[in-house]
Amino acid sequence: MQDAASPEPRPTPPHAALRSAARAWFEALRDRICAEFEAIEAESGSGARFVRTPWERDANPDGGAAGPGGGGGGVMSLMRGRVFEKVGVNVSTVSGEFSEAFRASIPGAGEDPRFWASGISLVAHMASPRVPAAHFNTRMLVTTRGWFGGGGDLTPMRLEAPEAVADAADFHAAYRAACDRHDPAYYPRFKEWCDRYFYLPHRGEPRGAGGIFFDHLDTGDAGRDFAFVRDVGEAFLAAYPAIVRRRYREPWTEAERAHQLVRRGRYVEFNLLYDRGTLFGLKTGGNVEAILMSMPPEARWP
Amino acid sequence: MQDAASPEPRPTPPHAALRSAARAWFEALRDRICAEFEAIEAESGSGARFVRTPWERDANPDGGAAGPGGGGGGVMSLMRGRVFEKVGVNVSTVSGEFSEAFRASIPGAGEDPRFWASGISLVAHMASPRVPAAHFNTRMLVTTRGWFGGGGDLTPMRLEAPEAVADAADFHAAYRAACDRHDPAYYPRFKEWCDRYFYLPHRGEPRGAGGIFFDHLDTGDAGRDFAFVRDVGEAFLAAYPAIVRRRYREPWTEAERAHQLVRRGRYVEFNLLYDRGTLFGLKTGGNVEAILMSMPPEARWP
């Protein structure tokens, strides 16, 4: 897709000038993450590779969330490996118009419904119950305003286990360092936001060990915010593969595997009952396979 | 729970006089269904039995759907067998007051928020991919008005397979006969309602082969409506065990089992994304284990 073909919302926020750079960053990050995960598979003796499937977004003629005149699409990268039982990395860049029903709730869409969005989103479900599952995403949205959103969170299977506590500490430390380089208020605020967001109220349970979550980030300096978002990506890339590498060779028991499959059921419950991106995507005609790439390969409700 | 302890909505619909009888019927039907399913397990050489777990409904102090002064509870019956990989049958009888947020959407609750509800609900996930999964429920609601709701639907794993077509035909024939004994308009109307309800719009797929679905049934003759509801239960009891018996000994392949697990993922998607009872229950503080008894024992999103 040519950026030149996208509708140009007016007034133009500074983010509009970053569209190509943001998209290029998300796609380059995808390449680096996929290469790293494939390297881990190779270290384990597996030859598993990501399979990339491009998809196009249909312009939605009946005025869903993204209405007429929309376009773009994405690439879903999926790997089924020995270490990564199922990992999906999706990048997408789409544009269109928000339907009337959505305009009121989207910053800057009241004046002009046109939008442009680009992002990367990742979910890793691991073969070993000793390796935590992970979720990561970052995105840039442009309407008559512009902002970034994203985050990452870790889901160890047994939150109280010493190895899970150590993994979570490292994961949080990486995000804290990335946040602190930009604003000392970020980490406590975005960590708390993550804890609040990734929570299953019907169970009274957190989804996992948390991480950070942020949305509508617009400090007034789009370049600075983009630099933060890049550091959030770097933090994930530095922290998560290291956790995977130190855990995946640990032996595990059938009981741990059975427990993992139950925990994955909770992951399904969260994503289908509460996750805004999942519900928004499914109910507005998004690409089903790309959205539900986040579902675990196997789950149990015994 | 003593019916005498329930709040008595005024004005009193004729259904109020049927409360004890409806509850007794739902519980007796549960006993008959469980006995029949246990008999099938015994025929298969398994000694599997239902395990019954009573639960009490907490009066919801913060005014959820069922607000202060509520009470009651239910019994969850769960069997994990050789033929029935996981089958749950829940009966419940609860009373309380609908919160303000719900009153407008509940018939008769605008005048007086108090309600009484009793029902039976069943979901069977079968070990063999050749045996269709089944769902059945019937309930009576009493506010200042009274009505019945319920239905049943069959989920064969391969809708087009000849055996699935034959099973669906028998299942529908049983419901058609039950409906036709009461009103020739019922079957076409309730079948269409079922097809519309058990549909996954994000996939463009039906959940299964359908059956019947009805709600807010109040012809003005509560006794007649209750007789219809009893016949709906009898139809399920006549049709489904017969289908199970003729299918469970058929050999199946690993590919069929793998496909079954994917189809169960669709079942999860429907229940968590769209099923009104599930969402209503989970979001208003219902008994989580009883509500999510409907989840399959194992599911895949490969």
Instruction: Say if CB A126 and CB A244 are below 8 A apart.
Output: yes
Q: Among B137, B42, B122, B85, which Cα is nearest to B260's?
A: B85
Cα–Cα distance for residue pair A123/A39, rounded to 1 Å: 17
Contact B273 A282 (CB under 8 A): yes
DSSP 8-class letter at A128: S
Q: Which residue has the higher pLDDT, B112 or A133?
A: A133
pLDDT at res. B10: 64
Q: Which chain B residues have a beta carbon less than 8 Å from that of A292? A: 269, 301
Estimate the crossing angle of helix A254-273 against helix B254-273, to 10 degrees. 40
Interval A8-51: pLDDT, tens: 556 789 999 999 999 999 999 999 999 999 999 999 999 999 99
Find the CB nearest B301 among A282, A295, A302: A295
Q: Which residue has the higher pLDDT, A7 or B229?
A: B229
Can you read off the two tokens belonging to residue B225? Answer: 């409506």
For A157-170, b where at least 16 C-beta lie within 10 A, e where not — what string? bbbeeebbeebbeb
Q: How far is B201 from chain A, CA to nearest CA, in Å?
A: 8
CATH number for the domain spanning B278: value is 3.40.1500.10
Domain count, chain B: 1
Domain assignment of residue B35, yes or no: yes
Domain assignment of residue B107, yes or no: yes
Q: How far is B36 from chain A, CA to nearest CA, in Å?
A: 22
Adjacent-strand bridge partners of A73:
A56, A93
Residues 208-237 of B with CB under 8 A from A: none
**pLDDT exceeds 80 at position A88:** yes
Contact B298 A298 (CB under 8 A): yes
Residues 6 or more apart in contact with residue B190 via CB below 8 angstroms: B151, B175, B179, B212, B213, B214
Based on the residue annotation, tell me whether A135 is a catalytic residue of this protein. Answer: yes
pLDDT at res. A245: 98
Find the CB nearest A301 among B297, B301, B302: B297
Domain assignment of residue B8, yes or no: no
Q: Which chain A residues have a beta carbon less than 8 Å from that of B296? A: 301
Contact A302 B80 (CB under 8 A): yes
Can you read off the two tokens belonging to residue A258? Answer: 């059975």
Q: Which chain B residues have a beta carbon less than 8 Å from that of A279? A: 273
Burial class (CB in 10 A: 0-12, 13-18, 19+), A132: buried
What's the predicted TM-score (pTM) here? 0.91
Mean pLDDT confidence for A121-140? 98
Burial class (CB in 10 A: 0-12, 13-18, 19+), B100: exposed
Q: How many degrees, rounded to 5, is the angle at CA A269 between CA A73 and CA A131?
A: 85
Q: How many CB atoms lie within 10 A of CB B35?
A: 10
pLDDT at res. A71: 83
Nearest CA in chain B to A273: B272
Domain assignment of residue B3, yes or no: no
Q: Kindly indicate the confidence band of residue A251, based on its pLDDT and cuts at 50, 70 and 90.
A: very high
Interval A201-250: pLDDT, tens: 999 999 999 999 999 999 999 999 999 999 999 999 999 999 999 999 99
Tell whether A279 is within 8 A of chain B (Cβ).
yes
Domain assignment of residue A257, yes or no: yes
pLDDT at res. A23: 98
| Per-block mean pLDDT, blocks of 10 residues, chain B (302 long) | 52 91 98 98 98 82 51 94 98 89 85 92 98 98 96 97 96 98 98 97 96 97 98 98 98 97 98 91 82 96 96
Domain assignment of residue A38, yes or no: yes
Instruction: Say if CB A200 and CB A274 are below 8 A apart.
Output: yes
Q: Output the average pLDDT for chain A.
A: 92
Q: How far is B264 from chain A, CA to nearest CA, in Å?
A: 10
Domain assignment of residue B9, yes or no: no
Mean pLDDT confidence for A249-278? 96
For B233-248, b where at least 16 C-beta lie within 10 A, e where not — what string? bebbbebbbebbbebb
Cα–Cα distance for residue pair A136/A236, rounded to 1 Å: 7
Instruction: Say if CB B252 and CB B130 are below 8 A apart.
Output: yes
Can you read off the two tokens belonging to residue B88? Answer: 């749950």
Find the CB nearest B282 among A202, A298, A301: A202
Domain around B182: 14-294
Residue A125 φ/ψ, nearest 5 degrees = -105, 125
Q: Among A101, A185, A117, which Cα is nearest to A149's?
A: A117
Domain assignment of residue A34, yes or no: yes
Q: How many CB atoms lie within 10 A of CB A3?
A: 14
Estimate the crossing angle of helix A276-283 against helix A254-273, to 10 degrees. 60
- Between the alpha carbon of residue B205 and those of residues A125, A211, A231, B210, B269, the distances in Å are 26, 36, 41, 12, 11
Q: Among B280, B270, B300, which Cα is nearest to B123's?
A: B270
Tell whether B17 is within 8 A of chain A (Cβ).
no
